[in-house]
Amino acid sequence: MTLTDRSTTSTSTQGLAPRIEAALRPLLAGPLPVRLRAWDGSEAGPEGAMLVELRSPQALTRLLWHPGELGAAQAYVTGEIEVHGEIGDALDLVRETVAARSLPPLTPARVARMLPDLVRLARDAGALARPPAPPATQAVIKGRLHSLARDRASISHHYDLSNEFYEFLLDPHMAYSCAFYADGPQMRLEDAQAAKLDLVCRKVGLQEGMRFLDVGCGWGSLSLYAAEHFGAHVTGVTIAAEQKAFIDERIRERGLQDRVQIRLQDYREVHDGPYDAVASLEMGEHVGEKNYDTYAEVLHRNVKPGGYVLVQQMSRFRGHHPGGGPFIEQFIAPDMTMRPVGDTLTFLQGAGFEVRGVHALREHYVWTVEAWHRTLEENWDRAVELLGEEGARVWRLYLVGGAQAFRDNRMGVDQLLLRRTGGPAVVSDPAR
């Protein structure tokens, strides 16, 4: 999992690195926390600290045009910045430095105060140039926010990446959502995902012959499990064409044509309810703040009175980046929106649901993402073969940063058990 094993080759105190360190001191309110090597071979910063290498002037150009997370991510995924050590340790060091020095947010005003020195440095270093083209892996999404066409493009950017890659990364169920480590973190990922799928089916009370709607069905893990293990008649909807093609093949392989139907359909186009039960696993984050009322209403009208709905969804404290931050929003999940779990419950209650349970799974997502990350690193050459070097570096940064966000309680994930009012009186919920 070490990114490189290259050793320090220069301890020069002349050249670009000392000048870059001097220019960054006002921004960092102190010295560099890392050892910095510039592309001319010069170095600056504390001896023995983690080595960060700027491999080309373009790395500095990106940081000038996009100070902070986005510029650094762009330069990292393109290989213009290299971290000689664990990328997770580097991310932790950034957060620890910001906290220890009480650094304020990186605003345009702060950058502007340092601009003359930075411009002179960039000119002398050959980095004063037009903004480089975005990395090939960065999303370019156009159109009206959360229109049907734009949502399809946003989902396609990430989920239509490559069925072969997701088969390589995920467990055999092809579950791309938080697992349930019922017996603790020592469980195999495949068993923890099966435990999650079983738990969802039991919570919504699935029984033989029931009609079950899987909203945002992914690669079919829940749809297939509900049909095979609970005898449900399942309709799954997705707007990712590669996902539908993958699930249709599994349906044929398993002889489930009479029990599972997958539709290439937006959630707003589902009008054939009410179903006996509904689930939606980590899809609500993609519908947007303004459309969440619509999403909640779709779930409500597509379940029968007295029927259960389970929503598994990520949460995030209020802040400047409800989508997860510049890297996630630009490279992974354009237009995603997360909010505190209480705010999501307010939307769902407003649609007419009774809240029957909130099951926090934050630490389970740490274990889930760490399992995906181990697969990536242990099979790095295969990941590069499937995605290219840049794509593999995007996924490394994504998985390491995601695990840390759940570890540090900057993000959460919950199973929200809901019941449409009406129907028979409740004696106890199905899973109890």
- List the chain domain ranges: 16-125, 148-420
- pTM across the whole model: 0.91
Of 237, 239, 243, 245, the closest CA to residue 271 belongs to: 237
Per-position pLDDT tens, the chain of length 432: 444 333 333 334 478 999 989 888 888 889 999 999 999 999 999 999 999 999 999 998 998 888 889 999 999 999 999 999 999 999 999 999 989 988 877 766 766 677 777 778 888 888 888 889 999 999 887 888 888 888 788 777 777 778 999 999 999 999 999 999 999 999 999 999 999 999 999 999 999 999 999 999 999 999 999 999 999 999 999 999 999 999 999 999 999 999 999 999 999 999 999 999 999 999 999 999 999 999 999 999 999 999 999 999 999 987 767 778 889 888 988 888 999 999 999 999 999 999 999 999 999 999 999 999 999 999 999 999 999 999 999 999 999 999 999 999 999 999 999 999 998 888 889 987
Q: What CATH number belongs to 148-420? A: 3.40.50.150
Q: Are the beta carbons of 275 and 304 closer than 8 angstroms?
A: yes
Name the residue type at position 111.
V
Beta bridge partners of 414: 313, 360
Tokens, residue 161: 């990446």
HEC-encoded secondary structure of 197-263: HHHHHHHCCCCCCCEEEEECCCCCHHHHHHHHHHCCEEEEEECCHHHHHHHHHHHHHHCCCCCEEEE
Name the residue type at position 114.
M
Angle between helices 241-254 and 148-159 (to 10 degrees): 60
Q: How far apart are CA 95 and CA 89, in angstroms?
A: 10
